[in-house]
């Protein structure tokens, strides 16, 4: 499966989603980042909608469940609410965020990051594609998905946000469990590193006289792995490029990425500083000052705990769907998701995980059994109804207290 953000394939699935949502009776709102909000009206239109969702873009060789499951399950919740004659207190919504994967426009979670105020609209629109041929803003215009609604949580707020997602790891399958109640998400930091050295002939330049940029870069790559093991973190160098590479040339310019993840921001800072210190030491180790490093942070999704009230709603829903036995577990998300950006605004956010076969994701072999997808969607449905009932109770209490003179506040 390959459906990169804002390609023609992405436009087709976006069109399908909007058509399906309108068939159910939703108002479809598209913001300035192309994120889609399909809103099914509730009884109290003064309340922001309770939202579900995820993303529809994929990795270049991705799977059929990552992101898509959350959007389709949210759509099915809206359809079930309408068909069952349920009248929710708050409006309900499905959100499809733009460019979650970050494979075509780096980094990811762009639509939710702008909505949350974590990234500016201007910088997001100016972001170049991976091949450098276009920009995110230009592609929004090309596929006609640059909406007029402000991409801003203050003017387009949500009462809460729940995201059903495949786990993308092995924990649920290994435990023989169906539902992961996600109560936290670890922090993520992405860096881009450039290394400068001195280009020279591989046969004529003595080893002691070299300023090999690739060799210097490789020492940092190894250190990232070592530090990650020492601190119980996740460290990955996912890209590495050598300019004008040739078998018999000593490299003078190398660039690579670093992806660091850990539940503690303090630990992430400690690893980052250790990497920077190692770079300084490598620079100082070259007596002639030819080795130079430049490391910049290109993305940061802070570690956070999800909203406890919303998490409890999901826990209750999972117990209803799976029973009170050993079919569920509380867990932390190791991958990055739009939920983390939504949570930064103070909007209650939480996630539901279902098992990934062999823990594989971001690959064609990605798979989640139908029964697990159904259980996840049922849990989402029940959790939405639980939270809607809490909002209804809160509204009634506020009306009794204030004599109906003030609208209900968010939980």
Q: For residue 270, what is the domain's CATH number? A: 3.30.70.360
pLDDT of residue 111: 98
* 284 shares its domain with 161: no
Q: Which two structure tokens, joined as six digits, stand for 181?
A: 């109640």
Low-confidence ranges of the chain (pLDDT < 50): 405-411
User: Is 406 a domain residue?
Assistant: no
User: Is 49 a domain residue?
Assistant: yes
User: Is 408 a domain residue?
Assistant: no
This prediction's pTM: 0.89
Residues of the domain holding 308: 8-186+303-400
**Would you give the DSSP letter of residue 184?**
E
How many structural domains are present in the chain?
Answer: 2
User: Is 98 a domain residue?
Assistant: yes
Nearest CA to 282 out of 346, 193, 383, 408 is that of 193
pLDDT of residue 1: 86
* 176 shares its domain with 220: no
Q: Which two structure tokens, joined as six digits, stand for 116?
A: 């949350």
Domain closes at, from 283, 301, 319: 301
pLDDT of residue 410: 36
pLDDT of residue 401: 72
* 284 shares its domain with 266: yes
* 91 shares its domain with 165: yes
- Rounded Cα–Cα distance for residues 327 and 180 (Å): 9
Query: In Å, how far are 163, 178, 277, 382 from 322, measured between CA atoms?
Result: 18, 8, 50, 12
pLDDT of residue 403: 63
Domain closes at, from 252, 267, 301: 301
- What is the crossing angle of helices 8-24 and 68-83, to 10°? 20
* 271 shares its domain with 257: yes
* 113 shares its domain with 238: no
pLDDT tens track for 239-289: 999 999 999 999 999 999 999 999 999 999 999 999 999 999 999 999 999
User: Is 405 a domain residue?
Assistant: no
- Rounded Cα–Cα distance for residues 94 and 39 (Å): 7
User: Is 410 a domain residue?
Assistant: no
Backbone angles phi, psi at 306, to 5 degrees: -80, 165
* 366 shares its domain with 225: no
Domain closes at, from 282, 301, 320: 301
- Rounded Cα–Cα distance for residues 63 and 66 (Å): 6
* 30 shares its domain with 100: yes
pLDDT of residue 404: 52
User: Is 407 a domain residue?
Assistant: no
For residue 72, the cross-strand partners are none
* 15 shares its domain with 77: yes
- Residues 53 and 111 sit within 8 Å (Cβ to Cβ): no
* 32 shares its domain with 175: yes
Q: For residue 342, what is the domain's CATH number? A: 3.40.630.10
* 181 shares its domain with 191: no
* 327 shares its domain with 223: no
User: Is 380 a domain residue?
Assistant: yes
Please list, in sequence order, all residues whose beta carbon lies within 8 angstroms of the beta carbon of residue 356, skipping any fewer than 6 positions away.
65, 166, 167, 168, 169, 170, 172, 173, 366, 367, 368
pLDDT of residue 411: 35
């Amino acid at each position: 499966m390959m459906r990169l953000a804002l390609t023609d394939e992405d436009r087709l699935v976006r069109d399908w989603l909007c058509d399906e949502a309108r068939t159910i009776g939703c108002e479809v709102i598209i913001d300035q980042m192309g994120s889609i909000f399909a809103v099914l009206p509730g009884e109290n239109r003064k309340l922001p909608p309770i939202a579900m969702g995820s993303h529809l873009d994929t990795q270049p060789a991705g799977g059929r469940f990552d992101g898509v499951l959350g959007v389709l399950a949210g759509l099915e919740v809206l359809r079930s609410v309408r068909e069952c004659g349920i009248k929710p207190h708050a409006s309900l919504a499905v959100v499809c965020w733009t460019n979650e994967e970050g494979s075509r426009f780096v980094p990811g979670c762009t639509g939710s990051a702008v909505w949350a105020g974590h990234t500016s609209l201007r910088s997001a629109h100016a972001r170049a594609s991976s091949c450098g041929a276009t920009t995110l803003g230009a592609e929004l215009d090309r596929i006609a998905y640059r909406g007029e609604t402000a991409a801003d949580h203050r003017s387009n707020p949500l009462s809460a946000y729940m995201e059903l997602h495949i786990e993308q790891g092995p924990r649920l399958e290994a435990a023989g469990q169906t539902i992961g109640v996600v109560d936290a998400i670890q922090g993520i930091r992405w860096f881009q590193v450039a290394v400068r050295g001195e280009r020279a002939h591989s046969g004529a330049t003595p080893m002691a006289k070299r300023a090999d940029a690739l060799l210097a870069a490789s020492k940092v790559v190894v250190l990232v792995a070592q530090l990650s093991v020492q601190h119980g973190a996740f460290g990955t160098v996912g890209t590495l490029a050598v300019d004008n590479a040739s078998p018999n040339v000593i490299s003078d310019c190398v660039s690579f990425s670093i992806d660091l993840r850990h539940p503690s921001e303090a630990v992430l800072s400690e690893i980052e500083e250790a990497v920077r210190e190692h770079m300084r030491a490598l620079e100082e180790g070259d007596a002639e000052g030819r080795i130079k490093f430049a490391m910049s942070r290109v993305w940061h999704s802070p570690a956070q705990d999800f909203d406890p009230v919303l998490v409890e709603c999901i826990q209750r829903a999972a117990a209803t769907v799976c029973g009170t036995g050993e079919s569920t577990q509380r867990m932390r998300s190791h991958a990055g998701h739009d939920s983390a950006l939504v949570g930064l605004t103070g909007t209650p956010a939480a996630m539901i995980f279902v098992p990934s076969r062999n823990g594989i994701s971001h690959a064609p072999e990605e798979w989640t059994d139908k029964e697990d997808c159904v259980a996840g969607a049922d849990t989402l449905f029940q959790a939405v109804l639980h939270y809607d009932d809490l909002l209804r109770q809160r509204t009634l209490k506020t009306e009794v207290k204030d004599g109906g003179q003030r609208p209900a506040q968010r939980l």
